[in-house]
Amino acid sequence: MQGTTWRWITILALALGVLVAAGCGDDDDEGAGGAATTTTPAEQRSFAAGTTMAELQEAGEIKIGVKYDVPPFGFKNPETNAIEGFDIDIGKAIATELGVKPTFIEAISDNRIPFLKDGTADLILSTMTINAERDEEIDFSEPYFIARGRILVKKDNNEIKDVKDLAGKEVCTVLGSTYEETLKKQAPTAKRRLVDTYSECLELIQNGAVDAESTDDVILTGHIIQDDELKLVGKPLTTEPYGAGLKEGDTAFKEFVDETIQKFKDDGRWKQTYDKWIGRYTGEDQEPPTMTLKEAIDLTK
């Protein structure tokens, strides 16, 4: 009796295993097929052996660290579970230029620089502001977007109209972002509440645990898209040029990324992408940034 039971269990387990394996197989096929049609051009550009580009082509993929919770730059589409956004489209453009598959991994503000250094990511596209301190650690591409620092409050908040009104108030921002310093300088008596992700800031401002949130306008716009009970106030606190993060000292790879981004700006794809992710919601028009990396770094000195 017991022998038969065990035999049945074994057969069932095997059947299940086969089903699961088949299911996974299907997924893989679809994934590879989908990626192949969208990202692999007919002919791969060839690069000198030993360069990062050649190595990435050898590997067949480029690992790109992006945000998963910052619409409209990098976020998980709740319906399809795909990672989408402005940063993602730039990442895809770079992968297409290389002729490899882009693999997006989550890189929050606090771990993105370590990810680049230890090789977890080949490239970082995560709403990262170019500044002098970071430039010591990693290399930046030329700026691909210019954001401005703003303040977000609830619509019914009439107390906070500008950065000076933040005095003594609780202000949320993300650990490892530039706003920790900005707030310290521009609103020294504000109580800074630091969390790991912008979605946590959104939660805290929604439930009233903090009075305001300060970060890049585009990220804050993303919050307003999610919750229209919020509004932007005050004049811009800062200018935040975004750059792609690259491993320090890899000049050839930096040149390649710069060139790809320039092409992206010149051939109209930048504007298309801007309209798709930002212009559509803000109703504003914007030209691709012309600021150079050097100007961006000088801003923060």
Partner 1 sequence: MSSFVELLTENYGALASGFWVTCRLVVGAFVLAAVVGTLVAALRIAPSKWLQRVGGVYVETFRNIPLLVLLFISYFGLRRAGLPVNAWTAGIAALGLYTAAYVAEVLRSGVFAVSRGQIEAALSLGFDQRQTLRRIVLPQAVRTVISPLGSITIAMIKNSVIVGGVVAINDLLKESRIIASRTFETEAAFFWAAAGYLLLTVAATVAIRRLELRYAIRR
Answer yes or no whether residue 136 interacts with partner 1 by CB under 8 A. Answer: yes
Answer yes or no whether residue 33 interacts with partner 1 by CB under 8 A. Answer: no
Answer yes or no whether residue 109 interacts with partner 1 by CB under 8 A. Answer: yes
Residues with Cβ within 8 Å of residue 138, at least 6 apart in sequence: 113, 116, 117, 124, 245, 246, 247, 248
Q: Quote the CA–CA distance of 251 and 248 in Å, as a whole number.
A: 8
Answer yes or no whether residue 204 interacts with partner 1 by CB under 8 A. Answer: yes
CA angle 120, 241, 93 (to 5 degrees): 55
- Decide: 166 and 187 in contact? Cβ < 8 Å: yes
Answer yes or no whether residue 209 interacts with partner 1 by CB under 8 A. Answer: yes
Answer yes or no whether residue 135 interacts with partner 1 by CB under 8 A. Answer: no
Which range in 72-80, 110-118, 226-234, 256-264 contacts partner 1 by CB under 8 A?
110-118
Q: Quote the CA–CA distance of 212 and 231 in Å, as a whole number.
A: 10
Q: How many residues bind partner 1 (CB under 8 A)?
A: 22
Q: Residue 141 or 197: which CB sits closer to partner 1?
A: 197
Q: Could you tell me the CA-to-CA distances from 28 to 23, 36, 102, 103, 151 in Å, in that order?
A: 9, 12, 15, 14, 43
Which range in 32-40, 59-67, 77-85, 107-115 contacts partner 1 by CB under 8 A?
107-115
Pairing of strands 170-174, 191-195: parallel
Answer yes or no whether residue 113 interacts with partner 1 by CB under 8 A. Answer: yes
What does the chain come to in residues? Answer: 301
158-197 footprint of partner 1 as x/- string (CB under 8 A): --------------x--xx---xx-----------xxxx-
Secondary structure of residue 108 in the 3-state scheme: coil
Which range in 53-61, 66-74, 198-206, 267-275 contacts partner 1 by CB under 8 A?
198-206
Footprint of partner 1 on this chain (CB under 8 A)? 109-110, 113-114, 133, 136-137, 172, 175-176, 180-181, 193-196, 200, 203-204, 207-209
